[in-house]
Every structure is written in structure tokens, then in C-alpha cells.
Amino acid sequence: MSGNAEVTGPGTVRLERVLPGTPERVWEYLVDPELRVTWFAGGPLDPRPGGLVDLRYDHSRISDEPVPEAFLDHRETGRVTACEPPRLLAFTWRDGPTASHVSIELAPVAGGTRLVLTHSRLDLPRDFGPAAAGWHVHLDMLEARVAGRAPEPFWERHETLERRYAGFAKS
């Protein structure tokens, strides 16, 4: 577990990780809904530009902890803006005029695959804590799943990181 989130520009949060395995293996965890639901959210993702992204969270598949009520039946939709397997996946986060944008870049490096996640067009500082904590813990889950390890509990870590990141946004 590593890779703290950082603000890299107006409304932009960036996280970087080196994950075990090839870019092709990590790519499968991004686009295959049965793998994606084990670290983030399931649901269809049409990998063509303009294709629908319908992220359906089933947090019970990520961790066997009780899911906070606010996150039951949680869902996000958007559209694919770029897809270059196994190097780049980008999509809008929420449909509509206030959509933010997520870009996930993969590159081979010694020891595995460098993943760079950039979430832009956020309302900062308000969205920094939730976005940074969410992505940080979801990427912890991805790292564990790709390595074949059981992930650590999700919700306690998410709550701790959200408080910590919210403090960063105010400084």
C-alpha cells in the first residue's frame, strides 16, 4: 500500500502505483466487470470512445465489512473518452455538465506495471477528501487482488484517509 494522492493542478487529483504483473493483466482488472467488482465497481463498460460506463458498486465483493448505508446501491455513470488497450482508459465520472474525468494510464516498469490515475474537473477542496481517499483505498484493493492477496479492510481505512486528505485540502 502506497501512493498518496496529490493535487497536481486546479481540480485535479493524481495517484501513482507500481502493481505486480503485466499491463495486460492489470488491464483486465480495469475492463472485466467480474474482476473490477473485486476492487472497485462492476457493471458494463463499453471500451469504445463514447461507450457507456455504468459503475455499480457492490462493496460486499470488496470487503466483508458492513457497508455504510450511504454506499448501498451506489452507482456512477459516464462515457469512455479514450481507450487504448492495455495503455489508457479514460472516462467521464457522472453524466452531465458537471462531469469530472478519470484517466488511468498503464506502463511496464521493472517489477510490474506503473498505474497513474488522474481524476480531474473536481470541485476542490470540497471533493479532495472523498476522491483522494476513495481512489487510494480502491487502488490498495487492486494491488492486493492483482498480487493474489486478500485485501485489508476497506471502510476503516477509507474513513481514516478521508479525514487525513480533507485536512490536506484545507492547508
Cell readout for 29 is 482488472
Q: What's the structural domain count of the chain?
A: 1
Q: Per the domain annotation, does 79 fall within a domain? A: yes
Domain that holds residue 110: 6-170
What is the Cα–Cα distance from 170 to 84, expressed in whole angstroms?
36
As a whole-number percent, the residues of the chain with pLDDT over 70 amount to 95
Count Cα neighbours of 125 within 13 Å in the Cβ-side half-sphere. Answer: 10
Distance CA 160, CA 108 (A): 31
Q: What is the pTM of this model?
A: 0.92
Report if residue 10 sits inside a domain. Answer: yes
State pLDDT tens for residues 101-111: 999 999 999 98
User: Where are the strands (E) in 85-134, listed by range?
Assistant: 88-93, 100-109, 112-120
In a domain, 52, yes or no: yes
65 within some domain: yes
Asked whether residue 1 is domain-assigned, the answer is: no
The domain that contains 111 carries what CATH number?
3.30.530.20
Residue 104 lies in a domain: yes
